[in-house]
Structure 1
Amino acid sequence: MDGTYTGVVDRIEDGEIGVILLEEDEEVIEQVDVPADRLPEPAQTDGGVLSVTLENDEVVAMEYRPDATRDRRESAREKLNRLSEKLSDREE
């Protein structure tokens, strides 16, 4: 696999391995694991968005994308708010 993809930090396992989900057209197409200390510092948390470049299936570059990270977190927060409002309406 070669090219540059959007990557989202799914989790950090045991504080050592960063699990990144690679996306193409907003669909997860692959998972790559990298040492957590290789992740750009602001992306060393779940949900950090990166541009990930692969050559011969190896991660050769990662760039943190703060705007994309913020947008995804806001979108997730809005979805949770809408869901909680729907649940609140059912309780009444």
Structure 2
Amino acid sequence: MSELNLQATIRKALRDRKRCRDWLMPHMALGKLKAFTKKHYHQLALAELGPISRAAFDDGWIWAIEDSQRPDWYNPKRRSKLLRYTRL
């Protein structure tokens, strides 16, 4: 990979991470409960932002948690009883 291609790839990865963080920040605003699982938030982000790698979303997730000071979002959301007993 040439130096220019490498730099372009790095810039795109950073841009995607920032887009994910910016998209997640309103969801993590103080006082808001975690409404969905991380996987579901990733699916919502894909629908709104377009193609984003899982790695970019995961990094954006961590950045958003740290920037919003919401460490409670590191904890997984429990699935509802309805989902546990329903085959999808």
Which protein, 1 or 2, shows the higher relative CO under an 8 Å CA cutoff with sep ≥ 6? 2
Question: Which has a greater percent of helix?
Answer: 2
- Structure with the higher fraction of residues in strand conformation: 1
- How high is the TM-score relative to the length of structure 2? 0.29
Q: TM-score, normalised by structure 1?
A: 0.29
